[in-house]
Amino acid sequence: MQTLTSLTAPLILSNGVKIPGLGYGTYQTPAKETYTAVSQALKVGYRHIDTASLYGNEEGVGKAVRDSGLAREDIFITSKLWNTDRGYDATMAAFEKTMERLGTDYLDLYLIHWPANRKQYGDKARELNAETWRAFEDLYEEGKIKAIGVSNLTPNHLEELIADSKIKPMVNQIEVHPGWPQMETIQYCQAHDILVEAWAPLGEAASLNNEIIVQIAAKYGHTPAQVCLRWGIQQGILPLPKTVHQGRMEENTKIFDFELTDAEMAIIGSLRNLGGQCKVPDQVDF
């Protein structure tokens, strides 16, 4: 199992692409604040920015990257295809719009944001996911995207997608935090060489008041946020914490100077129902 060793040390995806450590999340960062927030994150040292067409802030991400003074190839940008753009042609069109908004001529990682599910699409869900993925494969083979992946897929969706495709997803970005450990999906992905990225790694801040996490943080002289992130990286997961505050951006990077014991990993992993969204992809209506 690969694990993160520093803010910028890379993990290696199944196609050999390097993905720099700890990502910086931008969900719910308002468009008008995104330029400043991402510019600060790049100054703090983040080199991996996670956005999505849904977030409405791709322009701010792209401008912050261009104005950073850093080489484009030194920054890893992820965006995601929203659910209303599924299918081959719609995916192609949505990708072009994302590229225009970001103002870049290639994307590092593009993800299917959520799988089409049977609740909404019945037997057509599998076909729709395969069609969307076929567009991803073509964009990848044309060199417009360095790596392709999915988000919010559970093993049942992954089994179908892998059976229906030429290229296996390189990443699955799922909600993982203390209280929502997603062990089954993590084990499946790691067995299939699919890197797991954790969204809401702090449980949208709701995991931070848990007494067990607070106690473990005090033992190491670290903060609850740092313990949540450390718990993720010790499982070989790449977390994507979001904050618009510079102090917290820095705090969230200081997770490489302590190590949780196996017992602490297990205790944190046994917590349930702490914060985040805890949505089951087969049950959502969007």
Ligand X SMILES: NC(=O)c1ccc[n+]([C@@H]2O[C@H](COP(=O)([O-])OP(=O)(O)OC[C@H]3O[C@@H](n4cnc5c(N)ncnc54)[C@H](OP(=O)(O)O)[C@@H]3O)[C@@H](O)[C@H]2O)c1
In the bound state with ligand X, the residue whose beta carbon lies nearer, of 263 and 273, is: 273
Does residue 55 have an active-site annotation? Answer: yes
Would you say 78 and 49 are in contact if contact means Cβ atoms under 8 Å apart? yes
Whole-number Å distance between alpha carbons of 88 and 182: 30
Q: Among residue numbers 161 through 200, which ones bind ligand X (CB under 6 A)?
A: 173, 199-200
- Is the C-alpha dihedral spanning 131, 120, 90, 280 positive or negative? negative
Considering only 97-105, 131-139, 160-168, 241-249, which stretch makes contact with ligand X by CB under 6 A? Answer: 241-249
22 binding ligand X? (CB under 6 A): no
Nearest to 52 by CA among 195, 152, 162: 152
Count of residues in contact with ligand X, rule CB under 6 A: 26
In the bound state with ligand X, the residue whose beta carbon lies nearer, of 134 and 248, is: 248
244 binding ligand X? (CB under 6 A): yes
In the bound state with ligand X, the residue whose beta carbon lies nearer, of 41 and 260, is: 41
Q: Which of 24, 55, 110, 140 is catalytic?
A: 55
| Amino acid code (one letter) for 282 | D
77 binding ligand X? (CB under 6 A): no
Q: On the CB side of 112, how many CA atoms lie within 13 Å of its CA?
A: 32
In angstroms, what is the minimal distance from the CB of 139 to ligand X? 19
The answer to whether 192 is annotated as binding is no
252 binding ligand X? (CB under 6 A): yes
225 binding ligand X? (CB under 6 A): yes
Q: Which of 50, 85, 108, 131 binds ligand X (CB under 6 A)?
A: 50
204 binding ligand X? (CB under 6 A): yes
Residues annotated within the binding site for substrate are 113
Chain positions contacting ligand X, by CB under 6 A: 25-27, 50, 113, 151-152, 173, 199-205, 208, 225, 240-245, 248, 251-252
Catalytic site positions: 55
